[in-house]
Structure 1
Amino acid sequence: MNLTKQTTAGFEKQFGYLPTGVWSAPGRANLIGEHTDYNNGFVLPFGIDKRTYAAMSKRDDSLIRIGTSFTEGIVEFELGETEPQDLDWALYPLGVAWVVRAGLDAGFDLYLDSNVPIGAGLSSSAAVECSVALALNDLWDLRHSKQELALIGQRAENEVVGAPTGIMDQTASMLASTDAAVLIDCLSLETETVELGLEAQNLVVAVIDTQVSHRHSDGGYRSRRDACEKGALIMGVSSLRELGQLDLEAAKSKLDDLTYRRVRHIITENDRVLATVAALRAGRIEKIGPIFEASHVSMRDDFEISIPELDLAVETALKTGAIASRMTGGGFGGAAIAVIDKDLLPGLEMAVKAAFIKAGFGAANVFTVSASAGATRES
């Protein structure tokens, strides 16, 4: 049974009637551009072929009922003046409803199903937010653009969930295209499609999920954002987007060492995003190897968001023949990605398994993702 039918059946079993429709949105993998989004920089994510499905129907009262394939029972919330709190995973869909509540005249029944890995740095949260936002937009005829819906999802995560994330995840989930990445200018919110062309070169993107779960609402993410804001304030700019490599010498003299390293990562990472785009557009994907390596080193040493499991995953992928590899996502756990020949995948899985056992780590999960279309109505 495909996930659209499975989600429809789950809704009917949970609520006793068929949903009005089913909407879906992909998780995302980020090729490059980590923590640059909330600094108004550049990012290059793509939607993946693992999605969250939202079956929904309007109600005649203000009650919201949410069921899922991955939890027992139903979460109920009365949509009113009180912001939802302390509801764990349910804050993601409820947060979206809370942000758009001015346009809602009724509650809804919602059932969620998903095959996006949770905690792997593949933005399972944005997939939930975007599938629900698109469903609400259609059912209530709110007429928001996909970019506006992405901003609604971000507000939900920032204001209700309490995770200080940027706009990348929701924009990628909403605007993704098949076999392409999305270059996002997080200052202007302009987007450009960047063709990947992996299939023609027998290449795939492998995800090495360390299965060390992370949460953006924890303090490590916030402290990195605070350091970036501190650096921008001391340097006299509204965001680190305004600084380039020529400003690093002045920054080193003005900032303490930790803040300087945080700022250096953002400045150099923006350049690496644009260099990756240039290589892809020139059909020279082999050039991204050194760029990805520099990105990972910067996240490990300057931004300090990698962990030993991620470092080992990247090292093992490169030894196995990947043309490029780096950690992806917010860090403190999650996954690494590797651009690798399809024929080398079995060797990569074996090598990662052996390396993790030797290091005394938990089991890692290796799987491939392909660039997939953005949020859409399925039925």
Structure 2
Amino acid sequence: MSTSHRSGARRAARRRKANPPVAEGLRRIVPQALVVAFLAGGTTAFVADDKAVRLSVDGVPRTLHTFADDVEELLADEGLAVGPRDIVAPAPGAALADGEEVVVRYGRPVALTLDGRRRQVWTTARTVDGALRQLGVRAEGAYLSVSRSAPISRQGLALDVRTERTVTLLADGRERTVRTNAATVREAVEAAGITLTGQDTTSVPLGSFPRDGQTISVLRITGTQEIREEPVPFAVERTTDARLFAGTELVERQGVPGVRRVTYTLRTVNGVRQRPRRVREETVREPVAQRVRIGTRPLPASVAGADGLNWGALAACESGGRPNAVDPSGTYGGLYQFDPGTWRSLGGSGVAQNAPAAEQTFRAKKLYVQRGASPWPHCGRRLYG
């Protein structure tokens, strides 16, 4: 036997002697006992963390076992996502105990048109009836676009509600009060047993929504049409003329009014005649513009042989000093009562009463130079006063 083998055998013998078989057996038993004790304690803790809870989602309950510490963890474990419009009770941060009941109710959008006014609302109710109660909408006697028992999905629905309202109608001297869920005034009128004929209407538009407590008058209307011919004013076109004295206006062409045919409706409302209303018009004859020439020629300062006379006294006697005076026969006019022929023979245009006072005096002086005071047999002597 080699030296190395003999040394190994001796070492093994010493170990057996130092550790008799009993001690060796204890070394094997103690670790096994520790493992058993650890497993027993772990099992107790495992059993203590397990909870039996009741989870209800949109009214569908089920019982399950969970190790979640709070409601939020439970929902996450179950794959349930909730938003700000959803209801969770207890709140997501609440601790979870054995035997707990957790309720989840999802929000549902509803496009609600209530009595003609549309708005977007949210509800956790699963049926139309539940949503109406939750929103505080009175459904008795109301019109609903869908059944009260209809379900509301997570995607929501559109709901038109017309509640029952009290409307008073005044017609033919009578007052009728009805309860109606009508969508229009016309439907409310028909519900009251009132018949509209011809041009009859109401004090509010027939297509408008009847409000609770509203009073509506029925207007019985009869009407005819009337055609009238009315004048169309003519325009006045003015041009300057250096051949006429300043201040003189000569009508070169007399204006002629046009004619238009106008149609009016004549209405009687509940026996009361209304103001005529213009509904149509057409031009029958176009107006002809009036043309007027306006003088720009300066008047002469004097007329030799007539400047020193009292022309003011003559005018006061002949016309009361009024340049536009006309005698009762309509023949003579102006300050000095010229007849049209004499006026034109002196270079005047039109008639004397339409000319400026200065021009009338100038032409009277010319007449005096030609004929003296004879054209004014009664007042001519005033020239010398």
TM-score by length of 1: 0.19
Q: Max radius of gyration: which structure? A: 2
Higher helix share: 1
Higher RCO (Cα < 8 Å, 6 or more apart): 1
TM-score by length of 2: 0.19
Higher strand share: 2
